[in-house]
Every structure is written in structure tokens, then in C-alpha cells.
Structure 1
Amino acid sequence: MITVEDELFGRLEFDGVWSRPYEIEIFNRKVNVVLIVQTFDDDPISNNQRMTFLEFAGSQKSIIERVEVAALNYYLSKVEDYRACFDRDEVERKAPKTCDVFGFGELVELKQIKIMYTDEGRDREVGFVFDAVFDEQLGVGVLVSNGVVIDVDVQDIVLG
């Protein structure tokens, strides 16, 4: 495993991806997640990724609030489909029909924040990967571009 001390990202380890532990507040609680800086073919971290991280760090509270609301709205748009997958005794626990942002936070767990690779001069993208009790296989992914949520779907939008 390769380790570097980056002046912006801090201590990063490379084991297929550059990563480090990262603490963030989401759904009104502090959580430890994995911060991933995506690179390809041993390319160095790009200036665009550095700008992405700076933008995220500087606007973290407002970006996180947008991510929370977007993920909740995605869930609510599909809640009937999720409910159809559970037995009567687990449906209210795993896929309640109504919940607010903080109630929704009990249904998901943020696992990764990914500083996506984009070419210089392109949009700055950050991905959020959530595990979810209502969809244990596919979870939820939220993609933020230039500080705005542009897509919410299963984790593959960020992982793939």
C-alpha cells in the first residue's frame, strides 16, 4: 500500500483508490466515512479535483443539506416499490411511508464521499454513497456537480 501526505487532502493511502477516513455531519449526526479521490491509470490528483474538494469543504453545510433533501425525495418517490418488498412485520421499520429528513437518516448510512475525476475545465463532481435498509443491494447514490445535486439513484451512479 502506498501512502502520501497531500497538503490539501491530508494523508492518503492507495489500495486501488486514493482514500482516507473523513468525518462529516449528516442527518444531524457526525459520521466517519471514506473519502475517495478517484484517479485513473496512476494519474496524479488533478487541479480540478483539488478545486472540487475546496468548494465542497467551503460549502459543506449547504451541500449536505441539499444531498439530504434530494435523497429523501428520491426515497419518497419510490417508497411504494420498496414497501412491496417487505413483510408486514418489517415494512414500517424498513420502508415507512412518511418521514422527515432526520427520520430518513435512520434508514441510510453514508459510507463514502468520492471526489470524482473530471478533466480540467469540466464540472466539479462529488459523489455520495449510502447503504440503505430499504435497498440493501443497491443503496442510494447522490451526484453533486458544482455544488448542485444533479442526480439521485442507486449507488452505481457514483461507483460505476
Structure 2
Amino acid sequence: MKIYDVVFGELDYDYIWSKDTTMNYFGVKTPISLIIEGDEDGVFDDDQYSAYQSLMENWEEIQQNLLQPILNYYLQKRHELGYDIAFNESYPFVDTTEQLKKMMTLDSIVVSYGDLNKERDIGFLFSCTWDSENGLGIRLLDEKVVDVGYQDVAI
């Protein structure tokens, strides 16, 4: 089933609403999936529209603000797994966000239902070289990073 939404554009429904699109991700046009949580009726809540519009208006700043929390997560995970002591090819030493950017690819943006507190809720799903099985997920509330972890934190 397809619908046209005035904010999200043309969406397909296959248990989730989604469309393939491109985002300018650090200067590179990147193909991604835009996923909008919603029922089969295709009615979305005002918080979802607000979250998406704010994301698009502030995208340049938001993508920069994702990097340091991801680097912190990566270094913590690397330490927890003992790869700061023993070498592991999948978890090389990284100390800059520029190095980290080369190790991850933006795959999807998830526009979640408005949170209980009516915050603007956006999730990002990345594939990454260090964990191809679980990937990387980031959740933003009101354009601030609140969780970094496996992809399930973003959904």
C-alpha cells in the first residue's frame, strides 16, 4: 500500500511505513531508508512531524553532534571487550571522529511515535565495521543524543 503524506512524501507500507531517499551525510549523498512508525491507516502524530521537520532544519548541526557520543561508545565498547589491551582487527584504535566516520554508514532514520513526554524522537541506524551483526543505533530526544548502542536503541 502507498500513501502520499504532505511532510514525509510518498510512503510504502509493509508492516512499517518507509521510503528510500538520500541524505547529505557529511557532504556525501547517501541512500537511506526513512522509516515512520505508524499504523496501517497512515495517520501520524504531530510529534512525528515536528521531530522530522526539526531534524531536516538542523541536520548539519545534528550530524556533527552525533560523532562524539559515538566515539565515546566505541572506546567504551572496545575497552569492555579488552581490545584496548589485545589487538582486534575489527576494533582498531581510533582517537578522532574523522577516523570513526570512515568506519560507519548511515542506513536508516526512524521517526518514532512521540514519547510519553511528547519529545521529538528520532533514531539512526548505522552499519559499522566493528560490529556488522548488531550495527550501531542512536536515539535523539529533542535533538539531543540520549542513547548510543546496538541498532535496537534507535527503534
Fold match by TM threshold 0.5: yes
Q: Which runs of 4+ in 1 moved over 2 A?
A: 25-30, 40-43, 80-84
Provide Cα deviations, 1:67-120, integer angstroms capped at 9, x if missing partner.
122212211222234564xx96x61xx321124222212211211100011268
d(CA) in 1 for partners of 2:34 and 2:60? 17
Q: Secondary structure at the match of 1:71?
A: helix
Provide Cα deviations, 1:12-65, integer angstroms capped at 9, x if missing partner.
111111111122233443311100011146461111101111111111111111
Which has the larger share of helix? 1
Give the counterpart letter for 1:59 in structure 2.
Answer: N
Matched residue count: 153
**1:17–1:127 Cα change, 3 Å:** same
Q: Which of 122, 126, 144 is equivalent to 1:126?
A: 122
The unaligned stretches of length 5 or more in structure 2 are: none
- Under a length normalisation based on structure 1, what TM-score does the superposition of the two structures give? 0.84
d(CA) in 2 for partners of 1:132 and 1:82? 16
d(CA) in 1 for partners of 2:61 and 2:25? 11
d(CA) in 2 for partners of 1:78 and 1:143? 17
d(CA) in 1 for partners of 2:25 and 2:143? 16
**Worse-superposed segment, 12-21 or 72-81:** 72-81
Deviation at 1:3, TM superposition (A): 0.8
Q: Which residue of 1 aligns with 2:59?
A: 60
Q: Is residue 31 of structure 2 the alignment partner of residue 32 of structure 1?
A: yes
User: CA contact under 8 A between 2:110 and 2:124: conserved in structure 1?
Assistant: yes
Note the 1:18-29 alignment, pairs <5 A. Answer: 18-29=17-28
Q: Which residue of 1 aligns with 2:99?
A: 103
d(CA) in 1 for partners of 2:132 and 2:77? 15
User: CA contact under 8 A between 1:26 and 1:68: conserved in structure 2?
Assistant: no
Superposed CA RMSD in Å reads: 2.2
User: CA contact under 8 A between 1:113 and 1:129: conserved in structure 2?
Assistant: yes
The unaligned stretches of length 5 or more in structure 1 are: none
Percentage identity across aligned positions? 24
Q: Is residue 5 of structure 2 the alignment partner of residue 9 of structure 1?
A: no
- Under a length normalisation based on structure 2, what TM-score does the superposition of the two structures give? 0.87
**Worse-superposed segment, 43-52 or 119-128:** 119-128
User: CA contact under 8 A between 1:82 and 1:134: conserved in structure 2?
Assistant: no
